């Protein structure tokens, strides 16, 4: 019913309640808490309720939301990536996170690149935004590798931290995708 995506190494499926363990682990990882914040997910049941209350309603309304990243080689759930209709951000933004044991392998970039393509081609979104903490250099590097442009800073509602705001338009992505498609690996 809802679109699922695939890359060379990953399955990218809408997050559902059977992914509660992944959401629990992700939201309690040190980097998530440091750079995104504490979502007060103390138990698997809290994670299940978070999926039911926050992720599934957006999926039903827009056709996209949070996605679980599953490594093809062993079917392990290794992280999340999503397109969000987030309060305080004008338009749709992309976010991603990889569990600590799987960081540094290009999975966040691979999943985010595929979801940006889906945003433009499947969901007909014209501009994608992203936010990241000023100290989250790994996230900034991925956003820049995705050819997103930092367009300023902003404050998220109910949070006094200033974050960087990035953006990519459909035209910019097409040029980026063409350059990637023409690369010889």
User: Longest C-alpha distance within the chain, in Å?
Assistant: 46
Q: Using the structure block, give the residue that is written with the tokens 């138990």.
A: 43
Distance CA 68, CA 4 (A): 10
Domain count, the chain: 1
CATH code for position 22: 3.40.630.30
- Residue 136, Cα to own-chain centre: how many angstroms? 15
* pLDDT band at residue 133 using 50, 70 and 90 as cut-offs: very high
For residue 26, give its domain range.
Answer: 5-181
Q: How far is CA 73 from CA 25, 45, 90, 119, in A?
A: 21, 29, 37, 26
Predicted local distance difference test score (pLDDT) of residue 150: 96
Percentage of the chain beyond pLDDT 90 is: 79
Instruction: Give per-residue pLDDT as tens, 82-132.
Output: 999 988 888 999 999 999 999 999 999 999 999 999 999 999 999 999 999
Distance CA 88, CA 72 (A): 35
Predicted TM-score (pTM) of this structure:
0.90
Distance CA 115, CA 95 (A): 10
Contact 3, 110 (CB under 8 A): no
Q: Is 91 left (phi over 0), alpha (psi -120 to 50) or beta?
A: left
Predicted local distance difference test score (pLDDT) of residue 158: 79
Query: 107-121 and 170-181 are packed helices; what angle lies between their axes, rounded to 10 degrees?
Result: 130
């Amino acid at each position: 019913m809802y679109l699922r995506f695939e890359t060379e190494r990953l399955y990218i499926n809408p997050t559902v309640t059977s992914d509660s363990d992944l959401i629990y682990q992700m939201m309690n990882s040190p980097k998530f808490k440091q750079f995104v914040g504490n979502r007060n997910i103390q138990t698997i049941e809290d994670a299940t309720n978070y999926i039911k209350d926050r992720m599934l309603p957006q999926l039903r309304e827009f056709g996209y939301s949070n996605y679980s990243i599953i490594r093809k080689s062993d079917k392990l759930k290794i992280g999340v990536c999503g397109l969000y209709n987030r309060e305080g951000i004008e338009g749709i933004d992309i976010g991603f996170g990889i569990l600590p044991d799987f960081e540094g392998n290009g999975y966040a970039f691979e999943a985010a690149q595929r979801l940006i393509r889906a945003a433009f081609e499947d969901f007909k979104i014209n501009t994608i935004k992203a936010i990241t903490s000023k100290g989250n250099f790994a996230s900034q590097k991925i956003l820049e590798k995705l050819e997103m442009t930092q367009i300023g800073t902003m404050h998220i509602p109910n949070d006094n931290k200033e974050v960087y705001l990035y953006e990519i338009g459909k035209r910019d992505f097409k040029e980026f995708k063409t350059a990637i498609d023409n690369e010889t690996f």
